Amino acid sequence: MRLEVLKTYKLYIGGQYPRTESGRYYIARNKAGAQLANVCLGSRKDFRNAQVAARGAVAAWSGRAAFNRGQILYRIAEMLESRRAQFIDELLLQDLSQAAAEAEVNTSIDRLIYYAGWCDKFQQLFSAVNPVAGSFFNFSVPEPTGVVSIIAPQNSPLLGLVSVIAPVIAGGNTCIVLASEQKPLSAITFAEVLGTSDLPGGVVNILTGSVKELVSWFSDHMDVNATIYCENDSSVQSSIREKSALNLKRVFFYDKKDWNSEEGQSPYFILDTQEIKTTWHPIENIAGAGGGY
């Protein structure tokens, strides 16, 4: 009788696919107990490597034309479409029904296209020219906050993952994501999609492993600017609030979102990881040229 050789799902850091530096792994199983794959059990060092890669990619990614970021998100959707059957098969292995698996993949593709369209539009929506009492222009515009750490939804292995990554990178941020611990296959296969798209290395970094073990590093690292947590564990939420206060991280809890519905997508998700920058500019006196303000 032949023994099946399980695939080892590696990490995705800086555009590469390293094994965890710890050398640890766990076996992903479905509800029936069948072994699905060997999955890296990420460590604090893996998170640090991902953070360094994410920080190194911020300047170039945030400096790209918004239209180009939209092109890249659209390209990710194209690549996901081309591997649609593979993702459906993996979701079936992870206990989703045929209908649910197809819906999850289809909605993930549509969600990427949705945010691709917002890349060069959300600034117009959220920017403002503010009224001031003086001879100045006053502008408020959103700018990316920087590096965002994300604990992805545990029960939406592909759609939840896409729904939290897409608005973060659409706004010019980079991210480190901890995938679903119990259903990790789709996350690393999605990393393969990212690696074969036009997305620069370091913009998205995906780790696998134990939420309990890694959540503290996601929330208290001093060179992470925002944290997103997608589960409803109140003790973890409290810990994230406390640790994030060390460097005034922005904290967002997406624990009550239905990613399959319309509430799972919104330009306001982009705004969550933006900072509003207000600038002043003097109004030149051009009365001598035949007019004035």
Which of 45, 279, 290, 293 is CA-nearest to residue 142? 279
CA atoms within 13 A on the CB side of 75: 13
Residue 250, beta-bridge partner list: 226
User: What residue has token string 């810990």?
Assistant: 239
C-alpha of 229 from chain center: 11
Helix ranges restricted to H, 83-184: 84-93, 98-118, 122-126, 159-170
Q: What SS3 class is residue 246?
A: coil
Domain boundaries, the chain: 8-283
212-229 pLDDT, tens digit per residue, is 999 999 999 999 999 999
Looking at domain 8-283, its CATH class is alpha beta
25-49 pLDDT, tens digit per residue, is 999 999 999 999 999 999 999 999 9
pTM over 0.95: no
**Contact yes or no for 199/76 (Cβ under 8 A):** yes
57-115 pLDDT, tens digit per residue, is 999 999 999 999 999 999 999 999 999 999 999 999 999 999 999 999 999 999 999 99
pLDDT, mean over the chain: 93
